[in-house]
């Protein structure tokens, strides 16, 4: 207990003596933890309901188990961009934190003490965000639900405690190489490779194959009254999330490397050449954030196409008198889905803006050296934007084609009372996402003036 108290005091002293970037990291990490806790608490609360239950919100959309399970899956999917945002927040000021903890290690601190300090620099911020959202969620449950079950409160407690623990563990894991070898890892880190996302993708495919095999053999061996495969649904969803997420990271990283190599060969301007060399040297730098952009583009494009088709068919069913529920029941579900897609886009754009700003701050000495060598600041600004624009263009185009395919396929198999035609409005989604990503990346340009100051050349 004494050792933990001293480590907590030391972590607080190190944080308090840091610059503004450390406080930005703490604030943004607390915000990301609050978002993750909120989505997870909503999913846990809905999953704890059993059978038919009159939920006082949503116009009856959450009363039946089938609709609630869809809402739970949507809430869990929203955790993907939140985790990407938290990953970008964890890298704010990473250079200085690595050097700081490496100095502690070299000064005689034990590996366990350095790990605890690294965890205590992240855990309290996650605990703050999680605690605030948990208090609000508990108040909402008490006001909207007269007889909350023990399972609900247990799930709420598990989420409230699990998010800070996972955040602290991620903070300690991110600095494991500094703890093991402080002399060789004072932020002289090699660029990442695509081996990790590739292995995760293979693991997701293997999990899906195993669950599908169990479901098929269970169906052949089970009785007609059983529901084989129902218990495997969460595993199947987890496998799909792992496969899509890792595949998106791998695709974006591979695309960035390819675009960097091609652009470096055909570059005709200095800005294009600088951006291309940066992408070629480290194509995986922002792969996680760009992968979230890819997933949001697919989901948003497909949703707009499905929404157009579904509304046309619902209006046809309403005119024919075959609509089972009120129109507000269906429109509420569509509006909530659209709100979820928009929230995912906003979170992804925030992560992109944070990652771009941190990338610029981490290369201050290089940018200052380029400016001292005569490179104009406007060229560096264009190169900064091209680092986002070049790899995202083919990725967003591919994601738009995938989402458009989903919307068109849905229209071809579900329309019965109306013919909505090809959902051309969905084509606007990739354009809007691409423009929003460039705008988010442009928010870091005001930092360029301070980053290229000649005084940065004296920084150690």
Indicate if 176 and 293 belong to the same structural domain: no
Indicate if 181 and 290 belong to the same structural domain: no
- For residue 92, is pLDDT > 50? yes
* 40 closest CA partner among 166, 108, 134: 134
- For residue 193, is pLDDT > 90? no
Indicate if 33 and 180 belong to the same structural domain: yes
Residue 235 located in a structural domain: no
Contact 132, 34 (CB under 8 A): yes
pLDDT in tens, 128-163: 899 999 999 888 888 877 777 788 888 889 999 888
Could you tell me the pLDDT band of residue 187, with boundaries at 50, 70 and 90?
very low
| Phi, psi dihedral angles at 419 (to 5 degrees) | -120, 95
The number of distinct structural domains making up the chain is 2
Of all residues in the chain, what percent carry a pLDDT higher than 90? 4
**Which span out of 78-92, 245-259, 367-381 was modeled with the highest average pLDDT?**
367-381
Could you tell me the pLDDT band of residue 459, with boundaries at 50, 70 and 90?
low
Average pLDDT over residues 74-83: 81
Residue 201 located in a structural domain: no
Q: What angle do CA 354, 185, 282 make, to 5 degrees?
A: 50
Residue 256 located in a structural domain: no
Residue 455 located in a structural domain: yes
Query: Could you tell me how many residues make up the chain?
Result: 460
Residue 220 located in a structural domain: no
- For residue 323, is pLDDT > 60? yes
Q: Which domain holds residue 393?
A: 286-460
pLDDT in tens, 201-231: 677 677 667 767 766 665 544 544 444 444 4
pLDDT in tens, 9-32: 766 666 665 666 677 778 888 898
Indicate if 299 and 160 belong to the same structural domain: no
Residue 252 located in a structural domain: no
Q: Which is it for the CA torsion 394, 396, 398, 401, positive or negative? A: negative
Please tell me the predicted confidence (pLDDT) of residue 223: 45
Please tell me the predicted confidence (pLDDT) of residue 183: 56
Mean pLDDT in the chain?
Answer: 75
- For residue 236, is pLDDT > 70? no
pLDDT in tens, 368-395: 888 888 888 888 888 888 888 888 888 8
Indicate if 69 and 181 belong to the same structural domain: yes
Residue 293 located in a structural domain: yes
Higher per-residue confidence, 332 vs 40: 40
Contact 400, 297 (CB under 8 A): yes
* 296 closest CA partner among 392, 205, 388: 392
Identify the weakest region by mean pLDDT among 128-132, 237-241, 298-302: 237-241
Contact 204, 242 (CB under 8 A): yes
Residues 6+ apart with CB under 8 A from 243: 201, 204, 205, 207, 208
The model's pTM is 0.75
Structural Rg of the chain based on CA atoms: 25
Residue 207 located in a structural domain: no
Could you tell me the pLDDT band of residue 188, with boundaries at 50, 70 and 90?
very low
- For residue 446, is pLDDT > 60? yes
Q: What gap in Å lies between CA 389 and CA 440, rounded to an integer?
A: 11
Indicate if 451 and 312 belong to the same structural domain: yes
- Burial category of 309 from C-beta neighbours within 10 Å (exposed 0-12, middle 13-18, buried 19 and up): buried
Between the alpha carbon of residue 137 and those of residues 28, 45, 76, 157, 325, the distances in Å are: 20, 10, 17, 11, 30
Higher per-residue confidence, 189 vs 88: 88
- Burial category of 130 from C-beta neighbours within 10 Å (exposed 0-12, middle 13-18, buried 19 and up): buried
Average pLDDT over residues 312-330: 69
Please tell me the predicted confidence (pLDDT) of residue 295: 81
- Domain stops at, among 189, 215, 249: 189
| Phi, psi dihedral angles at 338 (to 5 degrees) | -60, -40
- Domain stops at, among 149, 171, 189: 189
Q: What gap in Å lies between CA 249 and CA 241, rounded to an integer?
A: 12
Between the alpha carbon of residue 350 and those of residues 141, 254, 292, 293, the distances in Å are: 29, 23, 11, 11
Q: What gap in Å lies between CA 388 and CA 400, rounded to an integer?
A: 17
Could you tell me the pLDDT band of residue 2, with boundaries at 50, 70 and 90?
low
What does the block give as tokens for 455?
Answer: 């005084």
* 157 closest CA partner among 71, 62, 40: 40
What does the block give as tokens for 256?
Answer: 């960035």
Please tell me the predicted confidence (pLDDT) of residue 229: 44
Average pLDDT over residues 334-361: 84
Please tell me the predicted confidence (pLDDT) of residue 457: 61
Indicate if 310 and 452 belong to the same structural domain: yes
Indicate if 63 and 175 belong to the same structural domain: yes
- Domain stops at, among 189, 213, 247: 189
Could you tell me the pLDDT band of residue 265, with boundaries at 50, 70 and 90?
confident
Please tell me the predicted confidence (pLDDT) of residue 224: 46
């Amino acid at each position: 207990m004494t050792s933990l108290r001293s480590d907590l005091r030391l972590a607080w002293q190190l944080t308090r003596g840091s610059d503004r970037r450390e406080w930005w990291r703490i604030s943004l990490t607390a915000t990301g933890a609050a978002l993750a806790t909120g989505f997870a608490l909503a999913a846990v609360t809905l999953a704890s309901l059993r059978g038919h239950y009159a939920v006082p919100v949503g116009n009856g959309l959450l009363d039946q188990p089938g609709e609630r399970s869809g809402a739970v899956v949507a809430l869990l999917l929203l955790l993907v961009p939140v985790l990407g945002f938290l990953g970008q927040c964890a890298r704010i000021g990473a250079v200085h934190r690595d050097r700081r903890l490496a100095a502690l290690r070299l000064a005689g601190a034990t590996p366990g003490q350095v790990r605890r300090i690294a965890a205590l620099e992240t855990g309290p911020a996650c605990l703050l965000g999680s605690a605030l959202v948990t208090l609000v969620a508990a108040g909402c449950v008490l006001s909207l639900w007269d007889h909350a079950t023990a399972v609900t409160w247990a799930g709420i407690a598990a989420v409230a405690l699990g998010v800070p623990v996972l955040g602290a563990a991620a903070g300690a894991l991110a600095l494991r190489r500094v703890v093991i070898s402080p002399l060789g890892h004072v932020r002289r880190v090699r660029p990442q490779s695509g081996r990790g996302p590739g292995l995760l993708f293979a693991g997701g495919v293997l999990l899906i194959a195993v669950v599908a095999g169990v479901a098929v053999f269970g169906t052949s061996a089970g009785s007609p009254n059983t529901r084989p495969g129902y218990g495997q649904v969460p595993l199947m969803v987890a496998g799909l999330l792992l496969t899509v997420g890792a595949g998106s990271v791998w695709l974006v990283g591979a695309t960035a490397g390819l675009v960097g190599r091609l652009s470096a060969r055909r570059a005709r301007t200095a800005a294009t050449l600088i951006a291309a060399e940066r992408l070629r040297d480290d194509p995986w730098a922002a792969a996680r954030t760009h992968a979230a952009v890819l997933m949001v583009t697919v989901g948003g494009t497909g949703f707009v196409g499905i929404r157009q088709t579904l509304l046309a068919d619902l209006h046809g069913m309403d005119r024919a008198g075959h609509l089972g529920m009120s129109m507000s029941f269906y429109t509420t579900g569509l509006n909530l889905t659209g709100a979820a897609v928009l929230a995912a886009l906003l979170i992804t754009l925030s992560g992109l803006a944070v990652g771009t700003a941190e990338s610029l701050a981490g290369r201050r000495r290089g940018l200052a050296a380029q400016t001292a060598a005569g490179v104009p600041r406007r060229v560096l600004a264009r190169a900064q934007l091209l680092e986002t624009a070049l790899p995202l263009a083919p990725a967003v185009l591919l994601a738009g084609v995938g989402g458009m395919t989903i919307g068109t396929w849905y229209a071809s198999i579900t329309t019965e009372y109306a013919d909505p035609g090809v959902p051309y409005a969905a084509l606007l989604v990739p354009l809007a996402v691409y423009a929003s990503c460039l705008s988010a990346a442009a928010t870091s340009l005001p930092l360029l003036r301070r980053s290229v100051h000649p005084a940065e050349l004296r920084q150690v």
